[in-house]
Structure 1
Amino acid sequence: MATKTKSPARSKGSSKTKSTKTAKHVYYFGDGKADGGGNMKPLLGGKGANLAEMTRIGLPVPPGFTITTEVCTYFSENKRSYPRGLEEAVEAALAKVEKSVGKKLGDKKRPLLVSVRSGARDSMPGMMDTILNLGMNDTVVEIVAKKTSNPRFAWDSYRRFLQMYGDVVMGVQKRAGEDHEPFEATIEHLKDERYGNHNFEDTKLTIEDFKELIARFKKLVKERAGRSFPADPWDQLKGAVGAVFGSWMNDRAIVYRRKYNIPAEWGTAVNVQAMVFGNTGDNSGSGVAFTRDPATGEKVFYGEFLINAQGEDVVAGVRTPEPVSELKKQLPKAFGELEIVRKKLESHFK
């Protein structure tokens, strides 16, 4: 992933893709209102359009905003630069998110953490990149630990962010001849040193383990990327957005598009959204669910989840997930809320 992207406000390059000052490049969703809708997949991508639509019908969608696929096309055709006015539009949308949740990115009292995800108009699972817990740094992690009275959650979220951002944005990835991803290798080495077992469960790691991992991750980033991990949340956000747009042209995505005849000019959108956390303890979790069996169409609640995990754990195979039917036994209140969401989606999209 490239790490040097020009600031949107300073972009002066000419473009093959026409862009005017009045063009809308950022669409907000939250608090039951959305700038976009489900019929705008070419512009907002599948994820962005559906987030907007679900917000409109009253589902509990965390607030956020979508940067359009047109910006991705501009970015690709103009040496990784952005249309004029984009940075101001992102700042305005982020301010709405901050107002909605009562937190601010980088704030010393109530810091906001966000996710940054890709979202093409057609699903491309595993082809592009996701970054969670953006906004974390050495100061914010201490604030989150104190505010939540849950330091393990705070330090776990920080090490996850360092790993994702270091990989996706700073390019700290497996080199030729290496058998394992460098961050995963670092985790396994620590587990071997401290527990004599590199398969030791992540959920059993301690706060001190996470602090040591964070120190080692920072050292790894410095060695591999040649620069320190960015502490400023706004710099983190700009880097993440550029990396997601850049992922549209990575080798995996190009091969996938060729296989499924997806035009390169479609581009991907970027979705920035307030974080909700599944790794706060045994009363939380993350998962993937469908209102019906996606293979047969049978009208049965279908999916899988993990307790005390973030979403990437479910799709990455770090732990073995359980079927969503088991959630009714473990977290019955959450299961009941999901059933309400499921019925509303079935009714709206039938």
Structure 2
Amino acid sequence: MMKEKFVYFFSRKLSEGSKEMKNLLGGKGSGLAEMASIGLPVPAGFTITTKVCELFYKNNRQYPAGLAKEVDENMRKLEKEVGKKFGDADDPLLVSVRSGASLSMPGMMETILNLGLNDRSLNGLAKKTGNRRFALDAYRRFIMMYGSTAKGIDREEFNQAFETLKNQLSRKRLNLAAHIKVNDTDVSEGELEKLVSEFKAIYKNHIGKDFPQDPKEQLWGSVDAVFGSWMAEKAVTYRRVEKITGVGGTAVNVQQMVFGNMGPKSGTGVCFTRDPNSGDNIFYGDYLVNAQGEDVVAGIRTPIRLSDFEKADSKSYKQLVDVRRILEGHFKDMQDLEFTVEEGRLYMLQCRTGKRSPGAAFKIAVDMANEKLISKEEALLRIKDKDIEGIFYPIIDPDQKDEMKKSFLVSGIDAVPGAATGKVVFNAKEAEAAAAKGEKVILVRKETSPEDVGGMHAAQGILTATGGKTSHAAVVARGWGKCCIVGCENLNINYEKEELMVGNLVVKKGEELTLNGSSGQVFRGALRLIKPEPPAAFKTLMGWVDKIRA
């Protein structure tokens, strides 16, 4: 009897998986294998199957026999592929460890980046790249992600230490006024050196021992964390609200690191092959210079648009446009892509069917049928019950021009169209509690995290101070057709006082706001909402239904 295979390798030379293996390799793993097999620039790696996750929970969190040997074999294969050694002190192979179930659960499970760094390889990476600041930035990220994800240390403790350092040292050195934000990229090499020491001290204070220096220990600690995150509260909540059943577990993807945080010629982005809000056939997305992938999704900094990315790096942008065309033609659906540019070189890190607003679902289905990418019958099958319901979500009654002018508060980025009114709340638990009592609320956050998913689902609308159109808040809200405004940088949120400020105007918890997700405008009070006219694509599709029935 043939032994069950638990690990599948992928690279441009050898790809053991394919897009048909989504149930076994998860969406991310099957997408990486497929992109590699058609020759796209995908960093090499391997996927531990969803079957291992099932067995992990069936066997009291024990791994099946033979898994460790398969992982070792694939790590050696990866080393040979890239010409670096895992754990090498002078030129280390660093990897990411990322989750990926067969159905998209954006941000609900764990990711750890820069794995393999330790005190010795930090110096090797700095020497090899000639960029110690970059190496320290990668190490501080790894300590924080491993500490919070694999060991359960509250991430806010790391964030607070970083903010304190930025305000006490970076702000003083740069002579910045109190109201000007200090970005992560403003922090100097020497300040990052101090931060790494502080992060290691936080780790030791909680865990009782030093940050692990053995890359193999780091790897298995991270794999444990990803499989463990399948049953985390946020992931269970997301599956409940999305009515996801019959999915056995997540896969784990171990992949060679590429670095978007090496300087001004590097960056990271998330994009959609079509506009996920309107469905228009335009390239849509965000890019952050000198950043790693988590920065875009977390909304730590407000990113630039793809049009600005084109101006900054036309060569990489042109490559990305080619990838857009190839993948949409290959998968015959709108794709959600993650990518990194390392020193001017493009790498693809994910492709999956993109979440879209209800209106966009109709337009994309109709357009793709008209473009002969899919048949009219396929177009009809792509429309779900919630899409039909969603195109009738409310909008602000345009006859209230005077009221709108008087009550206008602030503008942000129009992440998900529609409109919503409700009482302001500042945390997810309160949003859930209020909704359970039948109250309509607007969830206001500096930025959302996966832990907020229950409150996001309960709220009428979502408003965040940071982030772009591909941040966590935007992607999750879009999948639900829920009105969302992000990147509202003039919003000053005080969680302790439970209030938000725009200039001298103050809105306290319990006061009402109205969001216009189609324009990004926020209004004080509750404006009148009405049902919109269905889009043209809805009428076209209904016409096809009648013809097919006949």
User: Normalization by structure 2: what TM-score?
Assistant: 0.58
Amino acid at match of 1:222: K
Partner of 1:134: 115
Among candidates 73, 82, 94, match of residue 113 of structure 1: 94
Among candidates 15, 23, 48, match of residue 67 of structure 1: 48
Partner of 1:9: none
1:94: Cα distance to partner? 1.1
Between 221-230 and 279-288, report the one with greater CA deviation: 221-230
2:215 matches 1:260: no
Partner of 2:141: 160
1:47-101 Cα distance to aligned partner (Å, 9 max, x none): 0011111111110110001000010111112121100000110111111111111
SS of aligned partner of 2:239: helix
CA distance in 2, matches of 1:23, 1:296: 45
2:168 matches 1:193: yes
1:293: Cα distance to partner? 1.7
2:212 matches 1:230: yes
Is contact 1:21–1:84 with CA below 8 Å preserved after alignment? no
Among candidates 54, 57, 70, match of residue 89 of structure 1: 70
2:130 matches 1:149: yes
Partner of 2:436: none
1:279: Cα distance to partner? 0.5
Partner of 1:293: 275
Partner of 1:7: none
CA distance in 2, matches of 1:326, 1:88: 46
Amino acid at match of 1:164: M
Partner of 2:39: 58
2:221 matches 1:239: yes
CA distance in 1, matches of 2:284, 2:75: 34
Partner of 1:170: 151
How much is the aligned-residue C-alpha RMSD, in angstroms?
1.5
1:296: Cα distance to partner? 3.3
Amino acid at match of 1:190: L
Among candidates 256, 276, 287, match of residue 305 of structure 1: 287
Amino acid at match of 2:212: P
1:240: Cα distance to partner? 0.2
CA distance in 2, matches of 1:267, 1:338: 31
CA distance in 2, matches of 1:336, 1:39: 29
Amino acid at match of 1:82: Y
2:8 matches 1:27: yes
Partner of 2:265: 283
1:162-209 Cα distance to aligned partner (Å, 9 max, x none): 1111100011116xxxxxx10000001112221256941110111111
User: Normalization by structure 1: what TM-score?
Assistant: 0.90
SS of aligned partner of 2:68: helix
2:313 matches 1:331: yes
Between 99-108 and 269-278, report the one with greater CA deviation: 99-108
Is contact 1:191–1:199 with CA below 8 Å preserved after alignment? no
SS of aligned partner of 1:115: strand
1:265: Cα distance to partner? 4.9
Is contact 1:76–1:246 with CA below 8 Å preserved after alignment? no
Partner of 1:184: 159
1:116-147 Cα distance to aligned partner (Å, 9 max, x none): 00001111112111100000110011000000
1:264: Cα distance to partner? 6.5
Between 42-51 and 334-343, report the one with greater CA deviation: 334-343
Is contact 1:102–1:110 with CA below 8 Å preserved after alignment? no
Is contact 2:267–2:292 with CA below 8 Å preserved after alignment? yes
Q: How does 1:39-58 map to 2 (within 5 A)?
A: 39-58=20-39
Is contact 1:257–1:264 with CA below 8 Å preserved after alignment? no
SS of aligned partner of 2:97: strand
Q: Which runs of 5+ in 1 are unaligned?
A: 1-19, 175-180
Higher strand share: 2
Q: Percent identity?
A: 53
1:24-55 Cα distance to aligned partner (Å, 9 max, x none): 11010002431110011111100001111111
SS of aligned partner of 2:231: coil
CA distance in 2, matches of 1:118, 1:345: 22
Is contact 1:31–1:100 with CA below 8 Å preserved after alignment? no
Structure of higher RCO (CA pairs closer than 8 Å, 6+ residues apart): 1
